[in-house]
Amino acid sequence: MNFQEINVDETHIRLTCDISNHDLKKFIYSIRRDLKDYILKNQDFLLSLETLNNENENLSEIVLEMYKTSRITDTGPMACVAGTISKMSLDYLIYKGSKYSIVENGGDIALINNKTVLCGIYSNNPILGNDIAFKLKKRKTPLGICTSSGKIGHSISFGSSDCVTVLANNASIADGLATRIANDVVGNTSEDKVTNAVETAENYREFFNGALIISDENVATIGRLPKIIESNEFTVKL
């Protein structure tokens, strides 16, 4: 198994992969160039915090994917940029023949695994701590695991969650929905915050497999999640 870090401007990939001659860095340069070229001509794509829908143009794959996710998740396109790059990178590696790849891009993960993987959940929650993990069974299809937080990281969030983690077959959608749900972790009490976020999540149930919402002393789960275990040894960490 090969591990490497790939850094291209704002994209910081940690990759574990069962193939070595993949040239993923060149692919990431290519899709980032497509994205940057589009943004130069369309500043709304970069700045909008609301849904944009412009799928009728002759668009590059990354831009089209981000437009589609914006429409599905009711977020601005850039809310899913990290997850989209993870998704497209994983698709590329699968095309190259990979059966086991974990692409982690700033906490937004796309993976395919033919053996068990432990994915740590980093929330800094004072009760749960950071020693819990999803135990992911082996699978033959891609999975996206993406997290948004109102307390950790640099991404924009209008809520105050410790973390909102969404699992979906598409990492771009998982990323956008993590942002969308985390934005509604708001209320007068921790219970109110989690309840409001759960109500939002239910509106998007057809697009994700499961979600975990952590805010202070309250935790909620929606849909189907992998088994959560205590562990301080992770294959990858959100």
For 11-25, what is each residue's pLDDT tens digit? 999 999 999 889 999
Q: Which helix (H) or strand (E) holds 65?
A: helix 61-73
Whether residue 237 is predicted with pLDDT greater than 70 in this model: the reply is no
Which pLDDT score, from 0 to 100, does residue 21 have? 87
Superfamily of domain 2-237: ApbE-like domains (3.10.520.10)
Q: Which pTM does this prediction carry?
A: 0.91
Which pair of structure tokens corresponds to residue 152?
A: 């950790």
3-class secondary structure, 53: coil
Whose tokens are 């698709």? That residue is: 91
Dig out the tokens for 124 from the structure: 């800094």
More confident residue, 228 or 236: 228
More confident residue, 31 or 229: 31
Residue type at 153 in one-letter notation: G
Alpha helices in 74-186 (DSSP H): 81-95, 171-183
Q: What is the dihedral of CA 124, 212, 105, 183, to 10 degrees?
A: -90
> What is the rounded radius of gyration, in angstroms, for the C-alpha atoms of the chain?
17
In this structure, what token pair is assigned to residue 183? 């934005």
Write out pLDDT tens, residues 185-201: 888 888 888 899 999 99
